[in-house]
Structure 1
Amino acid sequence: MFIVETKPKSIAAESYRTLRTNLQYSSFDKEYKVIVVTSSEPGEGKSTTAGNLAMSLAQGEKKVILIDCDLRKPSLHKRFKISNIMGLSDVLIGREVIENAATRYKKNITVLTSGKIPPNPSEMLGSKAMTALLNELQGIFDYIILDTPPIQAVTDSQILGAKADGVILVVKAEKTKKESVQNSINLLKKVNAHIIGTVLNGVDNKRNKYYYYYGEKK
């Protein structure tokens, strides 16, 4: 479950609202509609961050679609407890339309699961069909949040980062090494992805664990 939904008055939920506000203010000169959420390595909390950010934006009366773009190890269908019989991969190959594949989870938030795991995830995410889908969705939703694989594991996040308006990099406190973060930033810069900022995940503030947005990366 997601902390923004289960414990809306917690420090963690408030931190996601701060992230939402910072994101909206960061859009002053350039509108960020398509946002990639990634991490350097597995287990740093990118899917949790993507889900909570999407919910927080939806609670702020924005229409949001959250897409599981991890076509290798998808997890959003488990977190939201919804079906993954069809999803993104089925839409991209033309087997399903977005209206049938996506699930309206709650008011203002729609979830598109990964669908069937394809043999060629990178090619699928880099396809013209993916670009066309993102363009279509921008006419329907205020925000499109893409939960993507760890950037140092595969090229998928770089591919989507190049298509997106901005990237949020999730860093796990006391786990992610500085060199790993810098390498991830360099990989994103190689494709001219715009790094909006970084989320520090799992900071232990006495007895409360929370997520904290700490600024824009130039």
Structure 2
Amino acid sequence: MAKKINPVAGVSLMAYIDKNSILAEQCRIIRSNIQFSSIDQPIQSVVITSAAAGEGKSTVAANLAVVFADSGKKTLLVDCDLRRPTVALTFKQWNHDGLTNLIGKGTEKIEDFVHESGIDNLSILTSGPKPPNPSEMLGSQRMTDLMNEFKKEFDFIIYDLPPVSIITDAQIIAAKADATVLVARQNQTQKQDFLQSVKLLKMAKANVIGVVYNNVKKNTDNYYYYG
């Protein structure tokens, strides 16, 4: 029987709750790998996605945002999963306005929609109301302009995207971001789906820099990174 995915659950911020946990340390390793993956042109924005649903990409995105903020970088976590958003729930924020408002209205200011997360140096931009045309919104020139504006306001930006093999949203934003990280889950991610996701991202000319292999049991934690 297929695993049921809760469409309305936030994720655990273990990197914030317990900074000495193995998960927090693994996230710091991921952070270091991202920072050192491109020396000539530093990476300032990264897409976090997966091959299929339920593989932990939103958990990785949120906890990675926490450790980047912990390092002193002014960090922004953007919920680009306009179909099954989690950032508002994770940080206990209202989702009445957010990214879709910024894209749709075209004249709104970023600072009116970006919110404090309650964690030093970490701001969040929730998804906003669910639109009828997510892919078109993310592929718009307005979204490209916003991504450029984010770089002027923040040191590091993390985009939480839907799975690659299901819809085109991740390809669209990955083509515009500096780098992309894929999340895979042990005993769940299908090899064919994973390889197809890599192929689709490469077709979009995304800079895929590594994979987070999730749910590998060792002691009390479950994250590894392969650059």
The TM tier, using the shorter chain, reads: over 0.9
- 1:212, CA displacement in angstroms? 1.3
1:135: which partner in 2?
148
Partner of 1:210: 222
* In 1: Cα distance, 2:144 partner to 2:215 partner: 33
Which residue is 1:65 aligned to?
76
Please point out which of 195, 204, 210 is paired with 1:182: 195
> Within 5 Å, which residues of 2 pair with 1:33-44?
33-44=44-55
The answer on 1:148 being equivalent to 2:161 is yes
Q: CA RMSD in A?
A: 1.0
- The answer for the alignment partner of 1:193 in structure 2 is 206
- Write the deviation string for residues 54-94 of structure 1: whole angstroms up to 9, x where unpaired: 11000000111000001111111111111111000001112
The Cα shift of 1:30 comes to 2.3
TM-score by length of 1: 0.95
Structure 2 equivalent of residue 80 of structure 1: 91
| 1:182 positional shift | 0.8
Secondary structure of the equivalent of 1:139? Answer: helix
State the distance in 1 between where 2:166 and 2:103 align.
23
What are the Cα deviations for residues 5-28 of structure 1, in whole angstroms up to 9, with x where unaligned?
A: 011111111000111111111131
Number of the residue aligned with 1:165: 178
* 1:26 aligned to which of 18, 31, 37: 37
Residue identity (%): 45
- 1:97 paired with 2:109, answer yes
Structure 2 length as normaliser, TM-score? 0.92
Provide structure 2 residue ranges, at least 5 long, that are not aligned to the other structure.
1-11
User: In 1, Cα distance between the equivalents of 2:174 and 2:150?
Assistant: 17
| Cα distance in 2 for residues equivalent to 1:173 and 1:194 | 23
Q: Deviations over 1:116-143 (max 9, x none)?
A: 1111000000000000001011011111
**Partner Cα distance (1:30, 1:201) in 2:** 28
Q: 109, 116, 134: which one pairs with 1:121?
A: 134
For structure 1, which runs of at least 5 residues remain unmatched after alignment?
A: none
TM-fit CA distance, 1:96: 3.8
What is the rounded CA distance, in whole Å, between the counterparts of 2:38 and 2:74 in structure 1? 16
